[in-house]
A and B are shown apart, each in its own frame.
Chain A
């Protein structure tokens, strides 16, 4: 762990800068049926999508907020700006992105990352994708990578077949809201048998306060194909809260493989209320790798519906909740759901959580073995470290078993930093601060080792930043 690998950071959220951008088009604050129509019209959408939005809007009005988890009463839906377009066209190279926005992504290191180690990259700024590009090698393989808005125009059949099928608008209020006002997000189609290990990345940025970002991501990995998708998120610090309510649907067809990695690092004025769901068909593998470091409140429980024999689903997650800049604690309520609907399916959930300075980290999960899940297996492991007496953690897993021929193992531990480990490291001359950091890094290592190298370094940096001043 050299000084080069782990530089020391200043004590501030380093992505908290903002830009002054005048939108080209916005629907202003609040939401009505007319605004839903306006959004659809601004995108020049086909009638079926408008119908879908309008139906979802009605469902949104009918549903109530979740009756579990963090307190969402402070979220002010009236003053959110539901749609904001900052540029007229999606650029294919960074030179064409408006200068101010490009500067933002430069500071976030997005173009550099793309040059170095990505197969393709896209960037969403507020409501819409401002940039996307894929290297020629991958385009030639027939991989489709574009904004979901573009996909509605260019691949209407595929979109119609899969869009809104895994997550119905009535699933929950935030899914309904997203279905009504969605904009942007990523569409990926990997043709049969096409395999790529090189990651494709999307970067999501909220710039204005009171913003709503409702991206909609749809991934289809065709039979025998594979894809490795990474998303990152940041936002400036504002006194007004922003809402990020994404919907992500992933379809992993027979023998296919998908890994979906998220590094969520929203500033602590963002409510991140996401619905993410995948289905894995026969012998397919779906892997969620999910890091939650930011946000004021996060509610997210990605799921895998194991719908074909021998399908596999995994979730590997870390969550870190510390103090928010307004003096309260960050509340991270995350987890996973594994739904075994076919024979000989397997799933694994490994969740690592940390909290300090009044933060609350909760694990909330579900493993369900349906009637036809003979021979299936599930493994769940939740580990939490509560670093001080101001912080708290709940672990709430539900395990539902409707088949006699399955097996499930579930384990969880909650503790403070081990004094024995601390003493041992310090007895070798390592300071308490450094020793604490080492133990924490070791604790999340099962997660970081699964990240692409550049992300692992980034994540270690973020954790180190979060850990600052945690001793003494």
Chain B
């Protein structure tokens, strides 16, 4: 029998949503362990005094946000606002192939075997730190995506997750994507905020790439200025699996981005590309790690950041080769453009190498916009600031090009343009 007396908010919530008992048990496990756990620690990212803990009670809240007008209902796979799911578009063809795309509530009710097997079991442990435990304890929205064996999806799956900051509620959201053996999928998520209330978001994305599968994962994060975010995306790769991460960090508030790929299987391969723009007074701390366990595994990291106004951007890139990862390759590159004299940027490329039969390297650079490129564009008559923005767009290209939807690419370009124009005003 579950003892929920200690946690009356949990008791009320699970009754209201009729949550399966086995999942409530995970919440209790997380809550009981919480006091014994530490906050996650990242080099040079100081976030301890941020309101990053999810303090509010677990609560079943309705959201009043309508479907945003610019979303094409036919082109998206799922739209969630706050804890609700507004729209789900899973074609008959996908259903026939056995593809599962459903919200978290449905996942718990209808696909418990998948959730039990993979949710916070392989990539991340519930008790890894205070924030992961808090995530499980306070989880109120999310999705499950499952691609069966040998199924190859050509069209990208496009998700919109809209944080409701019209209300003072925390946003705790989970994505569980399982790509079964030899499957292929392209997945795009848009995470954005509506509203300006001071809130906390705790988002965990788990990508489980089983043997021989290939996941193209793209994201565009546009969380609001008053949202403090812990965003943990982690891949778990079995033999010969591949994940291509393309992460566009365009949020306006303080954020800790904790990105990790666990190269467990031999021949597994993770390519992580991150671009970030920091503006205003925000602090973005981005800790991207690849851990090679498997033989001949490949982990590459590329991070490009632009820093404007009084903001602060920290790029940690960590290549960790464990003992026994013979033939592993760990490479990374972090490049930062500083466009303001009041900003601060940190680029910390770290290599932790415990085997000798490896190739590992990193490069980092910090500088201004390339003068040669600028000169070339200006010699064609472009005004300096416009030329500068074009050069920067090229600099952010690696992730822009990987976004699988042209309309979202354009949206992102416009957003970058706006941020740069605003930033240049302060120069």
Contact = CB atoms under 8 A, between A and B. Distances in A.
Q: Do chains A and B touch in the complex (CB under 8 A)?
A: yes
Interface in B344-359: 344-359
Contacts of A407: 365-368
Nearest to A386: B356
Most buried by B among A388, A405, A415: A415
A380 to B, nearest CB: 8
A394 B354 CA distance: 8
A397 B368 contact: no
B350 A410 contact: no
14 contacts: A374-B341, A391-B356, A393-B351, A393-B353, A395-B362, A399-B366, A407-B367, A410-B347, A410-B362, A410-B365, A412-B361, A414-B358, A414-B359, A414-B360
Contacts, number: 114
Contacts of B338: 401, 403-406
B176 interface: no
Contacts of A392: 323, 353-355
A369 B368 CA distance: 14
A371 B358 contact: no
A393 to B, nearest CB: 5
Nearest to A384: B353
A401 B336 contact: yes
Main secondary structure of the interface of B (DSSP, over half): strand
By Cβ-Cβ distance, the 4 closest A-B pairs, closest first, are: A386-B356, A407-B367, A404-B338, A410-B364
Interface residues of A, number: 34
B44 interface: yes
B340 interface: yes
Contact of B358 (A388, A398, A416): A416
B363 interface: yes
Contacts of A405: 338, 341, 368
A406 B367 contact: yes
Contact of A413 (B347, B355, B360): B360
Given A395-B362, A404-B368, A413-B360, 19 more contacts: A384-B353, A389-B323, A389-B355, A392-B354, A395-B352, A397-B348, A398-B43, A399-B364, A401-B346, A404-B307, A404-B343, A408-B366, A409-B363, A409-B365, A410-B362, A410-B363, A412-B349, A414-B353, A415-B360
Contacts of A393: 351, 353
B417 to A, nearest CB: 20
Main secondary structure of the interface of A (DSSP, over half): strand
Contacts of A220: none
B350 A395 contact: yes
Nearest to B341: A404
Given A398-B43, A399-B346, A399-B347, A388 B365 contact: no
B356 A388 contact: yes
Most buried by A among B356, B361, B364: B356
Interface in A396-453: 396-416
Contacts of B357: 389, 416
Range of interface residues on B (Cβ < 8 Å): 35 or more
Interface in B266-311: 307
A321 interface: no
A387 interface: yes
A413 B329 CA distance: 11
A401 B358 contact: no
Contacts of A414: 351, 353, 358-361
A348 to B, nearest CB: 15
A403 B356 contact: no
Nearest to A393: B353
B339 interface: yes
B353 A406 contact: no
Contact of B348 (A384, A386, A388, A398): A398
A191 B94 CA distance: 83
Contacts of B345: 400-401
Nearest to A411: B363
Contacts of B43: 396, 398
Most buried by B among A386, A401, A407: A401
Contacts of B349: 395, 397, 410, 412
Nearest to B343: A404
A401 B365 contact: no
B362 to A, nearest CB: 5
Interface in B11-50: 43-44
Contacts of B359: 414-415
A399 B346 CA distance: 5
Most buried by B among A386, A396, A397, A414: A414
A392 B360 CA distance: 12
Nearest to A368: B346
A402 B347 CA distance: 12
B351 A412 contact: yes
Nearest to A68: B43
